[in-house]
Amino acid sequence: MGRPWEWFTGVLLLSVALAYATPRVLRARHKLLREEVPLIVHELLLQAIAYKADHDTWPVFQPSPVPIGQVTSALHDWQPVPLPGYEPSKNPVRGTYRVSLQAGGLVVEGWCDVDGDGQLAHYRATPSQAVTRVTEPEVY
């Protein structure tokens, strides 16, 4: 069986390793989950440009599938998708998405809260600007 101090040392080393690794693993997981949002924002932008070419008008819709104030870490079914002809590459989706006309033209935005802390990560794209993160990198 070993001496008691050997067991204690092993448990202590394991505890230190877990304390060091756990936050890093969680951040990596949150970062991975958050990456769904810019992908869908990009898909919506491309679909909106195609819609404009076919219908000579920009499509717009309010935050969907949930209002911005109701975004949580939960997944939401996006049915029906408010942009004709668009089906997200992943459904159910994380967060919420909006296509709007603002002073500078068409804007596609997405918000999520994959870590459930109440701070929303925000992404934005326009026909002349690729998808960009609006919030700080550590907001998930």
Q: Are residues 81 and 27 in the same domain?
A: no
Query: What is the number of structural domains in the chain?
Result: 2
Distance (Å, whole) CA 10 – CA 29: 28
Q: Which of 41, 34, 10 is nearest to 127 (CA)?
A: 41
Distance (Å, whole) CA 43 – CA 52: 14
Distance (Å, whole) CA 20 – CA 76: 33
Q: Are residues 5 and 42 in the same domain?
A: no
Answer whether residue 16 is part of any domain. Answer: yes
Answer whether residue 123 is part of any domain. Answer: yes
Answer whether residue 56 is part of any domain. Answer: yes
Q: Are residues 39 and 90 in the same domain?
A: yes
Answer whether residue 54 is part of any domain. Answer: yes
Interior angle at CA 140, CA 27 and CA 30, nearest 5: 35
Per DSSP, 120 falls in state: P
What is the residue-level pLDDT of the chain in tens, covering all 140 positions?
567 777 767 666 666 666 666 666 666 666 777 789 999 999 999 999 999 999 999 999 999 999 999 999 999 998 777 887 788 888 899 899 999 999 889 999 999 999 999 999 999 999 999 999 999 999 98
Q: Are residues 62 and 28 in the same domain?
A: no
Q: Are residues 21 and 67 in the same domain?
A: no
Tell me: the pLDDT tens digits for 8-34? Answer: 676 666 666 666 666 666 666 667 777
pTM recorded for the entire structure: 0.79
Q: Are residues 24 and 39 in the same domain?
A: no
Q: Are residues 10 and 79 in the same domain?
A: no
Q: Are residues 84 and 48 in the same domain?
A: yes
Q: Residue 96 sits in which domain range?
A: 35-133
Answer whether residue 30 is part of any domain. Answer: yes
